[in-house]
């Protein structure tokens, strides 16, 4: 099993704050990096699929960057809202497909 | 179907009983994964099926856990003699391809297992 790590494990921010968290993964044998948003009692929702070093993806107030050479991806949320509260998962696709343990985000109104 | 379907959505069972969890993947998806998330823990890989190949069972935590996939479609995860530490949300995911391709996985909504 590949070692995909996410940090921080949990995060509490005030509404309106911007925040970011990290996914790190082995830089060898890289194919794609996936970000998912997972709300309690729902299926994880795909946010981004990133494949190229230097990729930047954006979806509304959420964006992500990718550095395959050093093995990390950042997820940014601008102007956090309570509905952003969820667990954010990253997954590395190499020969296999492995998830990090997630960052649990709570946005306080 | 339109999505990955898991049943039951919730299961409460007594310690020592056997349980079966079902996953119905998206039609045509050859790859199927089982994961679980225990309270306060991250997603834990359990088992991976890819087409007709032998499954990767390296994540199964003990020999009380087994899984099968019939006809390359529906999968059943069986937990024998359940223990309290088996309590978790069990997630199933499927994908058109197991490796290669930039497509991600589609997850089911999970089965919340509580062992009392």
Give the tens place of pLDDT for each residue, A75-104: 999 999 999 998 898 888 766 567 777 888
DSSP conformation class of B62? S
> Which residues in chain A are contacts of B105 at CB distance < 8 A?
34, 91, 97
Angle value at C-alpha A90, between B19 and A60, nearest 5 degrees:
120
Report yes or no: A99 and A91 within 8 Å, Cβ to Cβ. Answer: yes
Measured between alpha carbons, how far is B91 from B88 in angstroms, rounded to an integer? 9
Q: Residue B43: which pLDDT band, with cuts at 50, 70 and 90?
A: low
Greatest alpha-carbon span in chain A:
42
Measured between alpha carbons, how far is A38 from A8 in angstroms, rounded to an integer? 16
What three-state secondary structure class fits B84?
Answer: helix
Work out the minimum CA distance from B30 to partner chain A, whole angstroms: 14
Query: Burial level of B23, CB count in 10 A (0-12/13-18/19+)?
Result: buried
User: Residue A76's pLDDT is what?
Assistant: 98
User: Residue A1's pLDDT is what?
Assistant: 42
Measured between alpha carbons, how far is B115 from B88 in angstroms, rounded to an integer? 9
Between B94 and B40, whose confidence is greater? B94
Contact check, Cβ <8 Å, A97/B3: no
Phi, psi angles (nearest 5°) of residue B70? -90, 130
Contact check, Cβ <8 Å, B109/A41: yes
Contact check, Cβ <8 Å, B109/A43: yes
Interface test with A, best of B43, B53, B93 (most A CBs within 10 A): B43
Measured in residues, chain A has a length of 109
List the single residue in A49, A95, A98 with the smallest CB-CB distance to B45.
Answer: A98
Report yes or no: A13 and A81 within 8 Å, Cβ to Cβ. Answer: no
What three-state secondary structure class fits B87?
Answer: coil
- Reported as a single tens digit per residue, the pLDDT across A36-86 is 887 765 667 889 989 999 999 999 999 999 999 999 999 999 999 999 998
């Amino acid at each position: 099993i590949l070692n995909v790590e996410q940090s921080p494990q949990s995060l509490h921010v005030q509404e309106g704050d911007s925040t970011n968290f990290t996914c790190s993964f082995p830089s060898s044998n890289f194919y794609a990096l996936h970000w998912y948003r997972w709300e309690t009692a729902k299926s994880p929702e795909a946010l981004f699929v990133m494949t190229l070093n230097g990729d930047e993806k954006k979806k509304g107030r959420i964006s992500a960057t990718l550095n395959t050479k050093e093995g990390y991806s950042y997820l940014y949320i601008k102007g956090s809202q309570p509905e952003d509260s969820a667990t954010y998962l990253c997954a590395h696709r190499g020969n296999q497909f492995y998830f990090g343990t997630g960052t649990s985000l709570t946005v306080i109104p | 179907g339109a999505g990955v379907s898991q049943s039951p959505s919730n299961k409460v069972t007594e310690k020592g009983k056997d349980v079966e969890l079902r996953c119905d993947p998206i039609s045509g998806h050859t790859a199927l994964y089982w994961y679980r998330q225990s309270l306060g823990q991250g997603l834990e890989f359990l088992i991976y099926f890819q087409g007709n190949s032998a499954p990767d069972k390296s994540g199964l935590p003990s020999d009380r856990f087994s899984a099968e996939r019939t006809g390359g479609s529906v999968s059943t995860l069986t937990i024998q003699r359940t223990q309290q530490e088996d309590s978790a949300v069990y997630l199933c995911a499927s994908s058109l391809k197991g490796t290669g391709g930039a497509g991600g996985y589609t997850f089911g909504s999970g089965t919340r297992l509580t062992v009392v």
